[in-house]
Amino acid sequence: MPKYEVYFKSSAEKELYRLDSKLIKLVLSKIELLSFNPRGKGAIKLKGNVSYRYRIGDYRIIYEIDEIRKIVTVFRIRHRKDVYRGF
């Protein structure tokens, strides 16, 4: 049973569904893993920020963890060249 609930910002949800179907399945499977352990293998804390990133090939998932409420909020799902712009 997952320890954390995962929520998507509406912008992240839109970014997800712009990806091709194979990549969507891969991203959703990785996000499901975050619900069990958001600081697991592959999760890296961003410097000077409270956010974390998770790498999936050339794409990145940017998310934050609320330990008190046990919530993972996904903010961005973008290609690595775009994900940090304006962040």
pLDDT greater than 90 at residue 73 = yes
pLDDT greater than 80 at residue 1 = no
CB 51 within 8 A of CB 62: yes
Per-residue confidence (pLDDT) for residue 81, from 0 to 100: 93
Has residue 28 been placed in a domain? yes
Calculate ∠ Cα 33-30-34, nearest 5°. Answer: 35
pLDDT band at 19 (very low <50, low <70, confident <90, very high): very high
CATH code, 34: 3.30.2310.20
Has residue 85 been placed in a domain? no
CB 37 within 8 A of CB 57: no
pTM of the predicted protein model: 0.91
Domain that holds residue 50: 5-79
Per-residue confidence (pLDDT) for residue 16, from 0 to 100: 95
The total domain count for the chain is 1
Has residue 87 been placed in a domain? no
Has residue 54 been placed in a domain? yes
Q: Within 13 A of 8's CA, how many CA atoms are on the CB side?
A: 15
Report strand pairing: 52-56 vs 43-45: antiparallel
Has residue 86 been placed in a domain? no
Has residue 73 been placed in a domain? yes
Per-residue confidence (pLDDT) for residue 32, from 0 to 100: 93
